[in-house]
Structure 1
Amino acid sequence: MEMVNEKLKQLQDNLRELGSVAIAFSGGVDSTFLLKVAHDVLGERAVAVTASSCSFPERELEEARRFCQENRIRHVVCESEELDIEGFRQNPPNRCYLCKHELFEKIWAIAKEAGLAAVAEGSNMDDNGDYRPGLIAVKELNVRSPLREAGLSKAEIRRLSKELGLSTWDKQSFACLSSRFVYGETIDEVKLGMVDKAEQLLLDMGFHQVRVRIHGRIARIEVLPEELPDLLEPKVRSKLTAKLKEFGFSYVTLDLEGYRMGSMNETLKRD
């Protein structure tokens, strides 16, 4: 625990050195923790910026708004419609780079207009182990990654979040809905809506960490391995299948490996 506290102090010192910062704030575990610490250290010189788009569920945007209101943090919501970015709809392997580059350019514009010295995002040490083209945009645009710079892992961030009284300490991991599409499959508003409604249904049914990956009109559901038996209960399975077909899916399947980060990247690793 002493080492974790040292990392927290390092994070606080690093943020203090920035002087002022715009935080890319999604309302997830990492960015909420980063924003809280930044606001504790810098006060009104820490500003939250959240991008609104069709790949970012309304529930997540409302949670982000509520957190900033409750903590009296200045919050800027900017339009960042990924589907308007050239090449994004075709879902190439560098899709995340295209999105992040456009997003951080917008956040930098907001930061400069507000007289803020830096832009920061919430990636942590665990993000170093997966395919993360968005981190290339982070480097190119001189965006800081304070959690990685302090050496903090996801588990450590959750532990510190709990100590700070943040309700997000045990929140499920989330990534934009575009990450549910197999590379090369066209992303559009209709399919994004299908995925959003399917995942919301699973959350409303009590599942904690979910993904609904989309392959054409096939839904590939990922839940935590320990929750697989619950999903296979006849009444649950029947309701889920009926509702997902109502949402527009033709077939509903279950991934027997269960939830895992970046499962769409597994095909890239084999190529």
Structure 2
Amino acid sequence: IGIEHILVEEQTIDAEIKRNPANRCYFCKKIEFGAIVDMAKERGFHIVVDGSNADDTKDYRPGAKAIAELKVMSPLKTAGLNKKEIRLLSKYLGLPTWDKPAYACLASRIPYGEEITTEKLSRIGKAEKYMHSLGYREVRVRSHGSIARIELNPEDRARFCDPSTMDRVSKQLKAFGFLYVCLELEGYSMGSLNRNIV
């Protein structure tokens, strides 16, 4: 859409984030948005905004505290717009990403208290990329130690339960390093790992 896109890359995982406490997202957002705010100031900008929306107030979001502390603005949330409304507006404006599925940080696939490593994140990323290649648009592969717990939209579960598909997925996810592969019977649920703390 003609806007300069600048990537700010972190090469290592911060020790507090790696420890994976329940408020991990606070530390991550503080580092990420701190770097963005600094870069914005260097370029002469005084306002930084993010894409938080009204739906984000319905789940445990410790990162929101860091964003507020850094004085980052959340105009979509302030306007009370939810994901569905944002998609409709994006479609109306002709944006190519209007129907892009929600995508949260890969660390959100690892239960709180279980250490985050680059190896685990890579394994999860490969597993989800593989699932996308099979046509599953909204999928989460939750990592519970050596177990991959797949969450799919309810309408995708019947297709997934074809024996040849299950065999193929199991074989591929085990090749990525998981020992066991299972399907979450309730299907995809945003923030499902927050159930223990909310």
TM-score (norm 2): 0.97
| TM-align CA RMSD | 1.0
Residue identity opposite 2:155 in structure 1: E
Residue identity opposite 1:214 in structure 2: S
Equivalences, count: 198
Matched residue, 1:231:
160
Residue identity opposite 1:156 in structure 2: E
Q: Considering fraction of residues, name the structure with more helix.
A: 1
Residue 162 of structure 1 pairs with residue 91 of structure 2: yes
Instruction: Give the C-alpha shift of residue 81 in structure 1.
Output: 4.2
Instruction: Give the C-alpha shift of residue 72 in structure 1.
Output: 2.3
Q: Which of 102, 106, 121 is equivalent to 1:177?
A: 106
State how 1:1-271 maps to structure 2 within 5 Å: 71-81=1-11, 83=13, 85-269=14-198
Cα distance in structure 1, aligned partners of 2:2 and 2:103: 24
Does the CA-based 8 Å contact 1:82-1:88 persist in structure 2? no
Cα distance in structure 1, aligned partners of 2:27 and 2:77: 22
Q: Give unmatched runs, 5+ long, in structure 2.
A: none
Instruction: Give the C-alpha shift of residue 86 in structure 1.
Output: 2.6
- DSSP-derived class of the 2:7 partner: strand
Instruction: Give the C-alpha shift of residue 258 in structure 1.
Output: 0.4
Instruction: Give the C-alpha shift of residue 147 in structure 1.
Output: 0.4
Cα distance in structure 2, aligned partners of 1:107 and 1:125: 23
Cα distance in structure 2, aligned partners of 1:133 and 1:87: 14
Cα distance in structure 2, aligned partners of 1:121 and 1:160: 17
Residue identity opposite 1:257 in structure 2: E
Q: Considering fraction of residues, name the structure with more strand.
A: 1
Residue identity opposite 2:121 in structure 1: L
Superimposed CA distance per residue, residues 176-233 of structure 1 (whole angstroms, 9 cap, x where no aligned partner): 1000000110110111111001000110000110000000010000010111011111
Q: Percent identity?
A: 49
TM-score (norm 1): 0.72
Segment drifting more, 118-127 vs 72-81:
72-81
Residue identity opposite 2:75 in structure 1: P
Q: Give unmatched runs, 5+ long, in structure 1.
A: 1-70
Superimposed CA distance per residue, residues 141-196 of structure 1 (whole angstroms, 9 cap, x where no aligned partner): 10100101111111100100111112222111100100000011011011111100
